[in-house]
Structure 1
Amino acid sequence: MKQWLQAFIAAIQFLTRIPVPVNVPFTNEVLKRSTLFYPWAGCIVGVLIWGAGLGLQLVLPAGPAAVLTLALAVALTGGLHMDGLMDTADGVLSHRSRERMLEIMKDSRVGAMGVIACILVLLLKWSLIASLMTAGAWQLWLVVPFIWSRAAMVWGMTNEPYARAESGLGSYFQGLHRGHLLGAVFSALMLSLATVYIMVSVPLEMAGWSASFAALAAYAIHPWWLLLGAPVLGMGAVWGCSRYLSKKLGGLTGDTYGAMNELTETILLLLLVLMTGWRG
């Protein structure tokens, strides 16, 4: 029990800046076990962001509320994943040799490609958050992209080799096997189902069947084929992203894990906007 509690705390401390005043040894075994709780860390971040956005909309228009919500999202992770995205963009988009790309990614300075990638992703995220708020679709399902983007990192850690011969942040997780991936996917699936259940059951209990279904219809998902295809599209995005980066770099690094998280999160938010905003 103590080992699993340590793993859970390690996932929160490693992936977020949420203060947990407990000392946990960041050993290889603890960090590998912590990957099973990555979706839980994403869920906690997502719930905090959803709650903040809900409150901000009571006092602000959608535009500024979305900016402050996005600022909280960055603060909750300390910009860890965004930093990985910037370093990855600097290296991969330099179109140099594999060795040179890895050197560029290791450099603490941020280049033009990293800044451009950061600005574009933040702008897209802001527009997606604002769109959900404007459409009245700021519901608990917002948590789902944050859950699965963390599971996507475990996918990359498990299915692709580590690119650096020397030690690096990603090297702490070497030795992951399919059991860790299955555990992370199972956690993500259970959390997603729990989110959907809460979304549907709470209105039913509070307002009755007819009133709650009328409320749900206000942000009904269109078209239904996109709802069914969203998991496939999401998995395809994760696979394509990990394969592309792995081929370019000869494997993945700690930076590319962060980039995968940011890109997967953004793609899933985009799919969520399409599902809730489609009027065709």
Structure 2
Amino acid sequence: LLLKVVWLEAAAANWWQAIILAPLWGRWADIYGIFWFPPAREGGLGRSFREQVQQRDFFTVSLVTVLAAAVVGGLAGMLAGVAVWGVTHVLARWWTRDLGGLTGDTYGALCEIGEVVALAVLAAHLAR
């Protein structure tokens, strides 16, 4: 939470763009992890989430997120997305290797970490 406040403050006059885009990219990180990586346990929350996300859902959410990022944040919004994708992919692969898949807790972590990464990138580019 403290990192989020710090990055929002660093975004200066463009804080409103960061307020819109950080949660958007954070939620997208969840959908990415849910769609592309297996759940860790058969009866866990991860399995329940995975059963709800279809290919059409993933691509629709991705398209809407990218368009919103481009309109609201321009290049900074798109760079935030690339950074969130990279961090999300690395973490999801790591957790899949170590845990055998993703869990409800790792989905929550992907969302929170995705928001912080997006805010950091947005602050770096919007404060100029």
TM-score normalised by the chain length of structure 1: 0.41
2:39 touches 2:101 (CA, 8 Å); kept in 1? yes
Deviation, structure 1 residue 148:
1.5
How many residues were matched structurally? 127
The structure with the larger Rg is: 1
> What whole-Å deviation, never above 9, does each CA across 1:176-226 have from its counterpart, x for those lacking one?
3432211110121233344359xxxxxxxxxxxxxxxxxxxxxxxxxx7x7
Aligned match of 2:2: 123
1:145 touches 1:265 (CA, 8 Å); kept in 2? yes
Deviation, structure 1 residue 238:
1.6
Match among 32, 37, 40 for residue 155 of structure 1:
32
Aligned match of 1:271: 121
Counterpart Cα distance in 2 of 1:144 and 1:127: 16
Matches within 5 A, 1:16-95: none
Aligned match of 2:46: 170
Counterpart Cα distance in 1 of 2:59 and 2:10: 33
Counterpart Cα distance in 2 of 1:247 and 1:237: 15
- Identical positions, percent: 28
Counterpart Cα distance in 2 of 1:153 and 1:271: 19
Residue aligned with 1:136, SS: helix
Aligned-partner residue type, residue 69 of structure 2: S
Aligned match of 1:255: 105
Q: Does 1:236 align with 2:86?
A: yes
Distance change (3 Å), C-alpha of 1:229 and 1:193:
closer
Q: Specify every segment of 5 or more residues in structure 1 that has no aligned partner in the other structure, as ranges.
A: 1-121, 198-223
Counterpart Cα distance in 2 of 1:129 and 1:252: 29
Deviation, structure 1 residue 274:
0.9
TM-score normalised by the chain length of structure 2: 0.82
Q: Specify every segment of 5 or more residues in structure 2 that has no aligned partner in the other structure, as ranges.
A: none
